[in-house]
């Protein structure tokens, strides 16, 4: 297929599909860094017009990274479901946009085509949609997962409680966990990024979180965000592993830079299933992604960072995860320069992941050298929650003193729940009421007095 479009008497030509996708991408610093961005607003607009005329079937003929060279491409093509695709197979990218926005298209219709969509199709339609389009379509998607509680139900908004500490001090971590619980955080997961990343420390942290959860009878799950091979060794040593974490990207070469491939992920997934620890479900993988990860590893093959990010969701979808987290601003201004670019990328990632059937959360964040501030994060949090975001981060004061970046706080979850009338996961919500953390009503308001069951522990911590 020839990719070209005539505008104002000038013929614009794009040499292949990945070039067209890159030129059609809304402006961001990472694509300029890679030298693949549109050279002007005019070229970007023309590329978007050209892309809107590309038939969806073309994406099954024109791989952006060759099938023979990349196992993520092979995964995408080999697991494409022709039956699910049949409903939309006659559409172009532009017509898919109109179909998604149609008032008659609701959650059941979107679920029916999930397996027929490839990441590149989803990335393409994303590029010709405004922010409000991304919000509206994502809000129609329904993705539910379960382990020790149920995530993603309508009317719910969950949080990952992230009690990181710069020296892995157990008292400091425990204080942050209790602080977060008392703000109603932690139903998605209590997940620690360890400062000391080895098997012994992983087991120590797993045992500590297991003790807290068992002591208070909390219907949630825990996770140490260490390399998947460390978690495999922890399982072999008998550690209480709930969720298995790994960062993933959208190309085989980028994943190789993380020290993983699909076979390692499958080994970990099978090991997790063998433990049979989930009380209400067996979704046990927790993946983190982020635009720019493939480029930062020089593993993007001239594919734009938003399309690479969508390809990472094919990897995630393979393993039926409980949670997928786009750490949207963490990679820094070299890839997402300012609050505007971070906002756009967060909405894109959430839209693409949800459309592909994933339980998308977002670490709504920025690094200290980015042209962004907490008001930008407030805006993105509100937009994403309106779009049906599954979960966000909960961190003391929104300042992660271990990873040295700014994200969302325990208070932010209370803001969203009050603003949009959202509740935590139902099992966790009931526990919050039974523990006297929430008032015993449906308002989600905190009790003004310290629950008795926590008083002794807090006095001991000091």
Residues annotated within the binding site for substrate are 160-162, 193, 288, 363
Q: Which position has the token pair 């393993």? A: 319
Q: How far apart are CA 346 and CA 290, in angstroms?
A: 9
Starting at the earlier edge strand, list the strands of the sheet with 366-367. 366-367, 405-406, 399-400
CA dist 100 → 21, 96, 142, 279, 333 (Å): 20, 6, 14, 35, 32
* Annotated binding-site residue numbers for adenosylcob(III)alamin: 194, 246, 296, 402
Tokens representing 162 are: 């992230």
Q: Kind of pairing, strands 150-151 and 145-146?
A: antiparallel
436 neighbors 451 (Cβ within 8 angstroms): yes
Binding-site members are 160-162, 193-194, 246, 288, 296, 363, 402
Identify the three-state secondary structure at position 284: coil
Distance between CA atoms of residues 15 and 246, nearest Å: 35
What's the CA dihedral at 115, 291, 362, 214 to 10 degrees?
90
**C-alpha dihedral (260, 265, 267, 268), degrees to nearest 10:** 110
CA distances from 144 to 34, 265, 277, 286, 322 (A): 36, 22, 18, 14, 8
Residue 183, both tokens = 């703000």
């Amino acid at each position: 297929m020839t990719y070209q479009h005539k505008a104002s008497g000038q013929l614009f030509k794009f040499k292949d599909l990945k070039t067209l996708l890159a030129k059609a991408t809304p402006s961001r610093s990472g694509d300029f860094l890679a030298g693949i961005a549109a050279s002007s607003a005019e070229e970007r607009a023309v590329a978007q017009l050209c892309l809107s005329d590309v038939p969806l079937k073309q994406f099954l003929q024109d791989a952006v990274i060759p099938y023979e060279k990349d196992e993520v491409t092979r995964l995408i093509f080999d697991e494409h479901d022709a039956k699910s695709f049949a409903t939309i197979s006659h559409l172009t990218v532009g017509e898919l946009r109109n179909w998604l926005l149609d008032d008659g298209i609701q959650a059941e219709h979107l679920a029916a085509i999930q397996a027929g969509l490839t990441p590149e199709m989803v990335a393409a339609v994303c590029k010709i949609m405004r922010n409000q389009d991304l919000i509206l379509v994502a809000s129609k998607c329904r993705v539910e997962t379960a382990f020790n509680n149920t995530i993603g139900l309508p009317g719910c908004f969950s949080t990952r409680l992230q009690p990181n500490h710069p020296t892995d001090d157990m008292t400091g971590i425990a204080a942050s966990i209790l602080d977060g619980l008392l703000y109603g955080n932690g139903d998605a997961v209590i997940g620690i990024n360890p400062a000391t990343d080895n098997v012994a420390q992983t087991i120590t942290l797993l045992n500590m979180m297991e003790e807290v959860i068992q002591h208070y009878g909390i219907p949630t799950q825990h996770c140490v965000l260490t390399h998947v091979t460390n978690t495999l060794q922890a399982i072999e040593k008998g550690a209480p592993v709930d969720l298995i974490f790994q960062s993933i990207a959208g190309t085989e070469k980028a994943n190789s830079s993380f020290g993983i491939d699909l076979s390692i992920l499958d080994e970990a997934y099978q090991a997790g299933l063998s433990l049979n620890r989930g009380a209400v479900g067996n979704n046990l993988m927790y993946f983190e992604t982020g635009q720019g990860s493939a480029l930062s590893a020089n593993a993007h093959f001239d594919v734009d960072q938003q399309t690479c990010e969508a390809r990472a969701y094919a990897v995630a979808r393979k393993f039926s995860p409980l949670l997928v987290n786009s750490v949207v601003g963490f990679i820094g201004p070299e890839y997402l320069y300012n609050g505007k670019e971070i906002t756009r990328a967060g909405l894109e990632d959430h839209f693409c992941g949800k459309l592909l059937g994933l339980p998308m959360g977002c670490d709504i964040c920025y690094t200290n050298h980015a042209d962004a501030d907490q008001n930008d994060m407030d805006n993105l949090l509100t937009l994403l929650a309106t779009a049906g975001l599954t979960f966000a981060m909960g961190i003391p004061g929104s300042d992660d003193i271990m990873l040295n970046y700014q994200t969302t706080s325990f208070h932010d979850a209370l803001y969203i729940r009050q603003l949009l009338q959202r509740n935590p996961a139902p099992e966790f919500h009931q526990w919050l009421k039974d523990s006297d953390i929430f008032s015993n009503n449906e308002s989600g308001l905190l009790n003004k007095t310290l629950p008795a069951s926590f008083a002794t522990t807090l006095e001991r911590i000091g």
